[in-house]
Amino acid sequence: MKKTISIVVICLLALLAVWYIFIYKAPKFDTKPFKQKIDSLQYSIDSVLIENIHLEAGISILEEDNDYLVVKVGALNKKVLYLKGDLKDAKDALKYTPTQVDSFFVAKYPNEYVLVSEDTTQLPLEVSKAVVVDLQEGETNEKLVVAQDSVIVTLDQSLKNREEVIVALRDMEANYLKIDKDKSSQIDNYKIQVDGLKTEVKKADRKLKFGRFQKVALGAAILGLLIIK
């Protein structure tokens, strides 16, 4: 009888050991690291989204500036055309009458004509007309160079703006790719949590079933001991 009691006790102890080691003390799934990883990824995603908002704002400003520059280039090109027309018209001075030549110089150098001078230098009419042409062409060419330089500078600024827009768009594209990657990592971490929690549910179910079995076994063992006595 003692041998039987010892066997029953050993079985109960073994059953208790199995319950304690494999069910009660079984490591539980820890969701905290995965939640922290998901939160960290979300912070990264939010930061990149904010960066893209700033990039979009910068692109909008550059595009507005480029629209203005396009209008400016159009106006400057018209000015260049007008100046080229004035350059052709300068040749009309070759048809001036002596009175028109005098009127030109009086209008051109009013302060100098006011001064009293004993200089009696006289230029032939044809020479004077050639001088008028040279003066008008010189002034027009000077304005033309300035206008053409402005066109070049404006186009150069427009080109730089477009390059900046391209760089910004590439940065935005890289950011969106990073966002997709981070969201994919978030999904993976969610899946790990779900799988881990499913495992915990299975463990809890096994624990409950084993607990019921343990009670039945313990009851049976007690009953058997009572009968043996």
Q: How much is the pTM?
A: 0.61
- Decide: 90 and 136 in contact? Cβ < 8 Å: yes
- Decide: 87 and 144 in contact? Cβ < 8 Å: yes
Give the number of domains in the chain: 1
Distance, in Å, from the CA atom of 90 to the CA atom of 130, rounded to the nearest integer, reads 10
The pair of structure tokens assigned to 149 is: 């330089």
Distance, in Å, from the CA atom of 162 to the CA atom of 136, rounded to the nearest integer, reads 39
Alpha-carbon torsion 205, 209, 214, 219, what sign?
positive
Per-residue pLDDT tens digits of the chain, which is 229 residues long? 545 555 555 665 565 555 555 555 556 667 788 788 888 888 999 999 999 999 999 999 999 999 999 999 999 999 999 888 888 888 888 888 888 888 888 888 888 777 766 666 677 888 888 888 888 889 989 999 999 999 999 999 999 999 999 999 999 999 999 999 999 998 888 888 888 878 777 776 766 666 666 565 665 555 555 555 5
The pair of structure tokens assigned to 122 is: 């006289």
Q: Domain range for residue 184?
A: 2-228
CATH code for the domain of 67: 1.10.287.620
